[in-house]
Structure 1
Amino acid sequence: MTCLLRRSIGLIQRPFRLSAVTWQHVQRCQSKADPKTDPSNETEPLRLSDSCVKQLKKLGMDKNLRVFVEGGGCSGFQYKFDLDPSFNPEDRVIEKDGVKIVVDKESLEYLKGSTIDYSEELIRSAFRVVNNPVAEQGCSCGSSFNVKL
């Protein structure tokens, strides 16, 4: 059994499927949240590193960094990033030092407590999600993850 979720990215609807086990995990996490350890009780559900803020300021203030999670990748789910000037009514906006990160509510369930970072290496430079408490394991490139059950 699968549950079809709809993700809003601008005006485009992107459906993706979650397995029944994963959907049950999300529901269980929402219903049995411990107020002391639940990341949703934090003032900000996502943290932005200084390097992320610095890079977003370099890119300009006319677009926001949209972070979302899709089904796919090596480990089951993958992080995606997009520069997007628009907001949707169900989006959550996280702001630090004048830059904004936009996350839809479905993706936020998989990102709560994480840090959005910007990394520069010899072979690539990219935004990435680090210290995700929901992720059990990921691939070596860091763009996909598996959910803790």
Structure 2
Amino acid sequence: MAITLTESAAKHVTRYLSNREKGVGVRVGVKTTGCSGLAYVLEFVDELAAEDQVFESRGVKVVVDPKSLLYIDGTELDFVKEGLNEGFKFNNPNVASECGCGESFNV
């Protein structure tokens, strides 16, 4: 079981945590929403919860709650720039389908 970051994603997270001057890593999870059922949640972590699973990828702590891990195990988090747009991209091998707008998925 693992969640990994590309070099681009790790650099972006590291830079953001440095600018914040606090935080232990990034939390990756899912929530029920959207037309396909699940959507990704990404937030910076200041404190770990007892049940958190912690992975380290490229020097960054990636924190996942056990329920979310069932849906995102094996996911690679990338940070991409496409034209004027930039953002995180989830390369999740568990996804069976996505909604048309790309905001939600199901497994």
Q: TM-score range by the shorter chain?
A: 0.7 to 0.9
From 89, 93, 97, the equivalent of 1:137 is 97
Alpha-carbon offset, residue 141 of structure 1: 4.6
Give structure 1 regions of 4+ aligned residues with deviation exceeding 4 angstroms. Answer: none
Provide the secondary structure at the position in 2 that maps to 1:135.
coil
CA RMSD of superposed structures (Å): 1.7
Provide the secondary structure at the position in 2 that maps to 1:143.
coil
Provide the secondary structure at the position in 2 that maps to 1:125.
strand
Q: TM-score, normalised by structure 2?
A: 0.84
Q: RCO higher in 1 or 2 (8 Å CA, sep ≥ 6)?
A: 2
From 56, 61, 69, the equivalent of 1:95 is 56
Q: Which residue of 1 aligns with 2:86?
A: 125
Q: Which runs of 5+ in 2 are unaligned?
A: none
Alpha-carbon offset, residue 120 of structure 1: 1.8
Distance 1:86 1:134 in 2: 28
Q: TM-score, normalised by structure 1?
A: 0.62
Equivalent residues of 2:7, 2:58 under 8 A apart: no
How many pairs does the alignment contain? Answer: 103
Which amino acid in the other structure matches residue 76 of structure 1? Answer: G
